[in-house]
Amino acid sequence: MTGTRAGQRYAKAVLDYAKEQNALEVVNADMKDIFATINGSKELQNVIQSPIIKLSNKKAALMEIFSRINTVSQGLIDVLIENNRIDLLKVVAEKYIILYDKMRGEEVAVVTTAVPLSGELEKKVLAKVNELTGNKATIENKVDESIIGGFILRVGDLQYNASIAYQLNNLKRDLHNNTYVS
């Protein structure tokens, strides 16, 4: 994902400032709203990414859409506009949510499977995440039929790929590499 490193730095700065202002929870709610709104609107994504639309127009649109957000969150939009990095807003919001949850000792484990997780399997995944990270976790299940079977587990920066598609690609690569060896 482009801008991830810069997005992480902005999110950390916003988290620190929100902590100083005793607005952590309010800003977290704002970031969830910002992320969901941008993620759910292709038109808004296009406006934010467009090099043709003036920054002042982007700012006006965003301030109208997010008129009820906290001053800390409004400050983030101002800073991103000033630095010509408004295209990072969605990434910053997502990273803030992750940092906030981590600060509270919670993790979001994204599990990608070919079919929806059963309740029993979800409990096993939660236990494994707790064992690996020492934190409580919530499960976000994404269904992607292209992985054929198995699962891909992502917790923060850690990723474990046990999908059938990944294993088949490894097997294909190994077979291809071994056929040319004398």
Tell me: the pLDDT tens digits for 102-114? 898 887 888 998 8
User: Where along the chain do the CATH 1.10.520.20 domains lie?
Assistant: 4-101
Per residue in 81-131, pLDDT tens? 999 999 999 999 999 998 998 898 887 888 998 899 888 888 888 887 888
Task: Identify the band that residue 10 occupies on the pLDDT scale cut at 50, 70 and 90.
Answer: very high
Q: What are phi and psi of 85, to 5 degrees?
A: -125, 25
DSSP 8-state symbol, 40: T
Supply the pTM of this predicted model: 0.70
Q: What pLDDT score does 180 carry? A: 59
Q: What pLDDT score does 122 carry? A: 87
The answer to whether the CB of 126 falls within 8 A of the CB of 109 is yes
Average pLDDT over residues 19-28: 96
Q: What pLDDT score does 108 carry? A: 81
Task: Identify the band that residue 176 occupies on the pLDDT scale cut at 50, 70 and 90.
Answer: confident
Burial of 150 (0-12, 13-18, 19+ CB in 10 A): middle
Return the CATH number of the domain spanning residue range 4-101.
Answer: 1.10.520.20
Q: What pLDDT score does 102 carry? A: 86
Average pLDDT, the chain: 90
Average pLDDT over residues 46-63: 95
Distance, C-alpha 141 to centroid of its chain: 14
User: What proportion of the chain, given as a percentage, has pLDDT over 70?
Assistant: 96
Residue whose structure tokens are 């630095």: 83
Nearest C-alpha neighbor of 33 from the set 78, 76, 79, 3: 76
Q: What pLDDT score does 2 carry? A: 62
